[in-house]
Chain A
Amino acid sequence: MTASDGNALPSDVERDLVGELAQAALRRVAPEELAVFEETEADYFRDPESFWHARRRDEAVGFGLELALLTPYALAAGTAVVRFLASTVTDAVRDELRDELKPVIADSVRRLFRGGDRSGDRHQQRSKQGLAPGLTAEQGRELRRVALRQASRFGLGEEQASLLADAVVGSLLVDG
């Protein structure tokens, strides 16, 4: 397990969480992309910047239409959301304890976007309200803003970015 500097989570844990979240979102908006999800995810994490800075190619004997996968955007939005969640959890932890507590924080985040303990009255009550356990309504709105900002930042169209943000947050807040 490696720890990424400045991040609240170890990078491989963060990657797992991001992947999980992105898959959940794609299941809602672009399920056909799941067929190539693993290799797209691997490509993305190898060099995320190259996805956004690839120059437009005017291919000889091509069609001339640029068709992008939604997966990289989902991964980018997922990364931002996971980091936001992790920062929310770690805000409560003293600085000097953060490194030792990273596994604990990861568990907390995982619980957060897996809906936590799905048994119990409280969970059921929050699910009825459309909220993940441990997240307030304000935090849910903030998460959507984060996801939307990230998707838009990399050039996804307004409509698609909005759909993706909804899907990301929805996969956190709604079961299944």
Chain B
Amino acid sequence: MGAQADPDTVTPAPAGARVNALAIGSPTTTRYVALLAALLSAGLFVGSWVYNQTQGRDWIKVVVDCAGQALQSTLREETPVPPVQAEAAVAELQSTCRGAAERGRAVYALGGAGVAGAGALIIVYLAPVLVRRRRRLRTLGTPLQAASDRFAALAAEAGLRRAPRVERGPARQRDAFSYGPPGRPRVVLPPAAAVRWRDPGLFDPLVLHELAHVRHRDVALAWLARSVGYALAPLLALPVVVGLLSGDRSLLGDFLWRAALLALTAALISAGLLRSREHDADLRAAQITGDTSPVIALLRQVPPQARPGRLRQLLARHPAPSQRILALQQPERVTGLTFLDCFITAFLAAVLFPLALNVLVALFTGAGRTDLGELAAALLAGPLLGGSVGLGLWRAALMSRTTTAAPRVAPAAAGVAAGLVVGQLTSLGGTGSGGLHNAGWLAVSAALGFGATALCAGIGQLYADAIPRLGRRAALTAAAVVINGLIFATALWIGTTLQFLLDNAGAAFGREWLVTVLPSTSLVLVTVAALALAAAWALWPRKAQVRAPSWLIEQGDPPIWPAGGLHARHWAAAALASGIAAEGCLAVFHSIAGPPASLSGQAQRYYLYLWVAAAAGAASTIVLCRLDRARGAGVACLAAPLATLTAATGFLAVNTALGGHLTERFVVDVTTAPAALGLLLSLTAAPAGLIPPAHRPRGRRAHQLLTACLVPALSAIAISALLITGRDTVVGPAATLTPANTPASSAVPAATADGLRYLDTTAPAIVAAYSPIKQSIAAAAAATTQDAAVQLIRADVLPRLHAILHQAESVRPGTAQLASIHSACIAALQAAISGYSLLAQGMQDKNASVLAQGTRILHTATAAWTQWQIGLIELTLGDGIPLTPADFGLING
């Protein structure tokens, strides 16, 4: 749209203007919040552990009772109801029944975090008193009143509404530092600096640096992080002490290494954050002074450490003086994101996520909305990544417009991917449960994290283009946190849900989830809409030549603001071509294959349409990423939904022409569902923009337009053809699919339907058939003579048992897990037949040994029957997919 140049012809902003690296919010602030949140989440773990130690047995009893009650209630239904309604009713009954217990579990967990938080607050307010006493700090006093006055003047210059208290240490104190509770910071000067208040080359930059720490709230953040650590240490020691004293060391090893790793990484992260904040404080001090020279001159006085070891470097709270001077000379250097920066945030988010998920799901169980708990957990962790990684990428994109260096996105994306994997593997939330059965599924989270980072970088490029239109810099920070937060929240939610399903229920279940549950999830739909709107705003044409916003330039004239990227006609053409080509493929397929022969066939066609329409978006994403590189992912936020919408429009036109009804609901479903799936595909396609470009001869504009149309169309055709030919693999064989127009279509994939069918039909039938046998057995037990008892067993009990066994053996469970449960039922019936036969024989022959053998076998039958009942409860708990208590939250012992 409008005046946008080819990426290869982008001219960098002229040199000379000094960029204000502090113009927008620092990503390290969010990283600090992430650190605090991750540390507090360890409190959630301890709270859960306390609950399991004290109330765990009661909780299991409640869960099992509730499952049993729900099952019984289903069995009592006189009129059979369709599986989905029955399943929904059972789930609701269970949720309501378990609500109080789950709330209790959540309250304990939140209590753990609360204790850690309260302890941290106590420490953060008490520590300054101790620090002051222990380090013998005092006010500057009368002899240094002039120094106090100068300090106050500098505080006013630094933009602080209220000057912090200034103190000095004893003669042996050598470095300045700040401390104090939130809202009441204090700056401590070494006497050697305080007495030299007349020396502007020493006193001013030193004090301004400390005041910058105060202004950036570094004092509160650093002391809070430290205090949470102190408060958490005794809490984390609790499971260790109890484990050692009680002799139950089953969880000890697993817990210890996770806790130790968390402590070590928290220390490293804290030091890393402090180092980052030092650069910001230096830059702010120089900014207030209006000159970098005084700060640089002071930094030159810092003696470099002689060959510091790697660990010492990682634990250092200050960067090397040479690095600090370099950052002052080239402020844009500190705005880049490294692999480690992104790894840290992703690690913290992944450590936090499962613990928060457990608590939030438990909180929403009573209301029957565990899905809200999952979304809330994603919306908690997502903005942490968005406000750190996303905001950092946006800031880097913005700063890169004033230099010739492009921001490096690939290391950041790799950092996020690695951080998510390591965080999940090491989170305290995995203690005792062992995490995924197949750790390979972690690749799902890694891939989505990588893609989400590429997408954030892309949309950051669009906003860097559009920045002259954004009046307020606070709006940019807010937009970055919200938009990138949504991207990461969606990626986290999809990644963790999908990998859990793939790990527990298999690939077939996962692919059905993609076309049934994913498209109807509000978070995904909101993200698609927000990204499209955000990209549309950023791509709106601007005036031919605009200057950089004045707030972005610290010194010098604001330069002409460069713009780049594809023209609107190129990316719009790419989107339309992809959509038309994809729908064209479907139309050709329909004309060749004819109309579907069955409802299941119709379901397969519908799901295939979702995939193809979504793939149209993915095709345009890949092509735009290749044409426009990292920025292409941002353009795709609008272009991909446009491609999908084009395919959907085509589908609706063809479907209506073939006699389909065009209802409002149908139109909404048909357009939104592929857009949601399209976002997932765009996340996986976005990294294409990070692949270094091959040499591309610059063609004429007409040629470029042709490329923008042809390449996406051909890509869409290729992907659609692959999907159509491999539809049995991608969508699933028609026979296994639930028809799309049944109530089950939106929520129940085949494996679930199988499980629910077993619960709602098969098991009640077996139980119902067994009920009269129990009466006959009771009658035989109450018989006055043994002959009468033998007669009853042979005439009534055994024939009925044989009939049920025959009925049970005719059942063909669809999954291995279901077959395993059902085999317990068959084993119970077989053992009952053997046991009662021997019992009758023993009674008839008056043979005690045969009688004893019969009784033993009947015990075996009872055990197998109990096993079957447990299997049914597991099936009920998992809503059709067998789940054990450990699978849905009873962790940590």
Do residues B144 and A35 form an inter-chain contact, with CB atoms below 8 A?
A: yes
Q: How many contacting A-B pairs (Cβ < 8 A)?
A: 105
Stretch at the interface among A67-75, A123-131, A145-153, A162-170: A67-75
Asked if A100 is at the interface of the complex by the 8 Å CB criterion, the answer is no
**Contacts of A43 on B, CB cut-off 8 Å?**
170-172
Within 8 A of A (CB), among B206-237: 206, 209-210, 213, 218-219, 222, 226
Q: How far is the CA of A68 from the CA of B191 in the complex (A)?
A: 8
Tell me which of A32, A51, A63, A68 contacts B176 (CB under 8 A).
A63
Q: Which size class do B's interface residues fall under?
A: 35 or more
Do residues A40 and B176 form an inter-chain contact, with CB atoms below 8 A?
A: no
Q: Of residues A56, A65, A69, which shows the largest number of chain B Cβ atoms within 10 Å of its Cβ?
A: A65
Do residues A58 and B316 form an inter-chain contact, with CB atoms below 8 A?
A: yes
With contacts A36-B195, A68-B192 known, is A61 near B218, CB below 8 A? yes
Q: How far is the CA of A150 from the CA of B194 in the complex (A)?
A: 26
Q: Which residue of B lies closest to A52 (CB)?
A: B172
Asked if A54 is at the interface of the complex by the 8 Å CB criterion, the answer is yes
Do residues A54 and B171 form an inter-chain contact, with CB atoms below 8 A?
A: no
The smallest beta-carbon distance between B314 and chain A, in angstroms, is 12
Within 8 A of A (CB), among B153-203: 170-172, 174-179, 190-196, 198, 202
Tell me which of B171, B179, B298, B301 contacts A71 (CB under 8 A).
B171
Q: Of residues B170, B298, B301, which shows the largest number of chain A Cβ atoms within 10 Å of its Cβ?
A: B170
Asked if A64 is at the interface of the complex by the 8 Å CB criterion, the answer is yes
Do residues A67 and B317 form an inter-chain contact, with CB atoms below 8 A?
A: no
The smallest beta-carbon distance between B283 and chain A, in angstroms, is 14
Q: How far is the CA of A13 from the CA of B316 in the complex (A)?
A: 45
With contacts A51-B171, A54-B172, A71-B171 known, is A61 near B222, CB below 8 A? yes
**Contacts of A35 on B, CB cut-off 8 Å?**
143-144, 195
Q: Of residues B175, B179, B210, which shows the largest number of chain A Cβ atoms within 10 Å of its Cβ?
A: B175
The smallest beta-carbon distance between A43 and chain B, in angstroms, is 5
**Contacts of B222 on A, CB cut-off 8 Å?**
60-61
Do residues A66 and B174 form an inter-chain contact, with CB atoms below 8 A?
A: yes
Do residues B195 and A61 form an inter-chain contact, with CB atoms below 8 A?
A: no
Asked if A20 is at the interface of the complex by the 8 Å CB criterion, the answer is no
Q: How far is the CA of A76 from the CA of B301 in the complex (A)?
A: 24
Q: Of residues A43, A58, A71, which shows the largest number of chain B Cβ atoms within 10 Å of its Cβ?
A: A58
The smallest beta-carbon distance between B19 and chain A, in angstroms, is 24
The smallest beta-carbon distance between B799 and chain A, in angstroms, is 82
Asked if A44 is at the interface of the complex by the 8 Å CB criterion, the answer is yes
**Contacts of A94 on B, CB cut-off 8 Å?**
none
Do residues A64 and B218 form an inter-chain contact, with CB atoms below 8 A?
A: no
The smallest beta-carbon distance between B227 and chain A, in angstroms, is 12
Tell me which of A36, A59, A61, A64 contacts B191 (CB under 8 A).
A36
Asked if B511 is at the interface of the complex by the 8 Å CB criterion, the answer is no
Q: How far is the CA of A54 from the CA of B171 in the complex (A)?
A: 11
Within 8 A of B (CB), among A12-59: 32-33, 35-36, 39-40, 43-44, 50-51, 54, 56-59
Do residues B198 and A32 form an inter-chain contact, with CB atoms below 8 A?
A: yes
Do residues A50 and B172 form an inter-chain contact, with CB atoms below 8 A?
A: yes
**Contacts of A39 on B, CB cut-off 8 Å?**
170-171
Asked if A6 is at the interface of the complex by the 8 Å CB criterion, the answer is no
Q: Of residues A36, A40, A54, which shows the largest number of chain B Cβ atoms within 10 Å of its Cβ?
A: A36
Do residues B171 and A32 form an inter-chain contact, with CB atoms below 8 A?
A: no
Asked if A120 is at the interface of the complex by the 8 Å CB criterion, the answer is no
Do residues B174 and A68 form an inter-chain contact, with CB atoms below 8 A?
A: yes
Do residues A51 and B143 form an inter-chain contact, with CB atoms below 8 A?
A: no
Encoded as 1 (CB less than 8 Å from any A CB) or 0, chain B from 558 to 576 comes to 0000000000000000000
Do residues B206 and A61 form an inter-chain contact, with CB atoms below 8 A?
A: no
Do residues B206 and A63 form an inter-chain contact, with CB atoms below 8 A?
A: yes
Q: How far is the CA of A72 from the CA of B174 in the complex (A)?
A: 12
Asked if A176 is at the interface of the complex by the 8 Å CB criterion, the answer is no
Q: How far is the CA of A62 from the CA of B209 in the complex (A)?
A: 8
Do residues A59 and B317 form an inter-chain contact, with CB atoms below 8 A?
A: yes
Do residues B171 and A72 form an inter-chain contact, with CB atoms below 8 A?
A: yes
**Contacts of B193 on A, CB cut-off 8 Å?**
67
Q: How far is the CA of A81 from the CA of B278 in the complex (A)?
A: 43
With contacts A59-B317, A64-B318, A65-B298 known, is A36 near B171, CB below 8 A? yes
Q: How far is the CA of A63 from the CA of B278 in the complex (A)?
A: 8
Asked if B274 is at the interface of the complex by the 8 Å CB criterion, the answer is yes
Q: How far is the CA of A61 from the CA of B174 in the complex (A)?
A: 14
**Contacts of B318 on A, CB cut-off 8 Å?**
58, 62, 64
**Contacts of A32 on B, CB cut-off 8 Å?**
195-196, 198
Tell me which of B144, B178, B196, B302 contacts A64 (CB under 8 A).
B302
**Contacts of A68 on B, CB cut-off 8 Å?**
174, 190, 192
Do residues A66 and B175 form an inter-chain contact, with CB atoms below 8 A?
A: yes
Asked if B277 is at the interface of the complex by the 8 Å CB criterion, the answer is yes
Q: How far is the CA of A44 from the CA of B191 in the complex (A)?
A: 14
**Contacts of B278 on A, CB cut-off 8 Å?**
64
Do residues B192 and A61 form an inter-chain contact, with CB atoms below 8 A?
A: no
The smallest beta-carbon distance between A30 and chain B, in angstroms, is 8
**Contacts of A63 on B, CB cut-off 8 Å?**
175-177, 206, 209-210, 298
The smallest beta-carbon distance between A136 and chain B, in angstroms, is 35
**Contacts of A54 on B, CB cut-off 8 Å?**
172, 174
With contacts A50-B172, A51-B171 known, is A67 near B274, CB below 8 A? no
Do residues B301 and A61 form an inter-chain contact, with CB atoms below 8 A?
A: no
**Contacts of B170 on A, CB cut-off 8 Å?**
39, 43
Q: How far is the CA of A162 from the CA of B300 in the complex (A)?
A: 22
**Contacts of B179 on A, CB cut-off 8 Å?**
61
Q: How far is the CA of A151 from the CA of B302 in the complex (A)?
A: 20
Tell me which of A36, A65, A71 contacts B144 (CB under 8 A).
A36
With contacts A35-B143, A35-B144, A44-B171 known, is A62 near B191, CB below 8 A? no
Do residues B175 and A57 form an inter-chain contact, with CB atoms below 8 A?
A: yes
Q: How far is the CA of A126 from the CA of B794 in the complex (A)?
A: 138
Q: How far is the CA of A51 from the CA of B298 in the complex (A)?
A: 23
Q: Of residues A35, A60, A71, A72, which shows the largest number of chain B Cβ atoms within 10 Å of its Cβ?
A: A60
**Contacts of B317 on A, CB cut-off 8 Å?**
58-60, 62, 64
Q: How far is the CA of A67 from the CA of B199 in the complex (A)?
A: 13
Q: How far is the CA of A54 from the CA of B194 in the complex (A)?
A: 20
**Contacts of B219 on A, CB cut-off 8 Å?**
61
**Contacts of B324 on A, CB cut-off 8 Å?**
64
The smallest beta-carbon distance between B158 and chain A, in angstroms, is 15
The smallest beta-carbon distance between A19 and chain B, in angstroms, is 14
Do residues B190 and A67 form an inter-chain contact, with CB atoms below 8 A?
A: yes
Q: Which residue of B lies closest to A32 (CB)?
A: B195
**Contacts of B202 on A, CB cut-off 8 Å?**
67
Tell me which of B143, B175, B302 contacts A59 (CB under 8 A).
B175
Do residues A60 and B274 form an inter-chain contact, with CB atoms below 8 A?
A: yes
Q: How far is the CA of A62 from the CA of B175 in the complex (A)?
A: 7
Q: Which residue of A lies closest to B138 (CB)?
A: A39
Q: Which residue of B lies closest to A64 (CB)?
A: B318
Within 8 A of A (CB), among B532-549: none
Tell me which of B144, B191, B194, B226 contacts A60 (CB under 8 A).
B226
With contacts A36-B195, A58-B317, A60-B222 known, is A65 near B274, CB below 8 A? no
The smallest beta-carbon distance between B869 and chain A, in angstroms, is 59
Q: Which residue of A lies closest to B221 (CB)?
A: A61
The smallest beta-carbon distance between B217 and chain A, in angstroms, is 10
Q: Of residues A57, A62, A63, which shows the largest number of chain B Cβ atoms within 10 Å of its Cβ?
A: A63
Do residues B177 and A62 form an inter-chain contact, with CB atoms below 8 A?
A: yes
- For this complex, 24 residue pairs linking A to B, each with C-beta atoms less than 8 Å apart, are A32-B198, A35-B143, A35-B144, A43-B170, A59-B175, A59-B177, A59-B317, A60-B177, A60-B226, A60-B317, A61-B277, A61-B281, A62-B210, A62-B318, A64-B278, A64-B317, A64-B318, A65-B175, A65-B176, A66-B174, A66-B175, A67-B176, A67-B190, A69-B171
Q: Name B residues whose Cβ lies closer than 8 Å to a Cβ of A.
A: 143-144, 170-172, 174-179, 190-196, 198, 202, 206, 209-210, 213, 218-219, 222, 226, 274, 277-278, 281, 298-299, 301-303, 316-318, 321, 324
Minimum-distance CB pairs A-B, first 6: A62-B177, A59-B177, A64-B318, A67-B192, A66-B174, A35-B143
5 new A-B contacts, CB < 8 A, other than A33-B192, A63-B209, A69-B191, are A35-B144, A36-B191, A59-B176, A64-B317, A66-B302
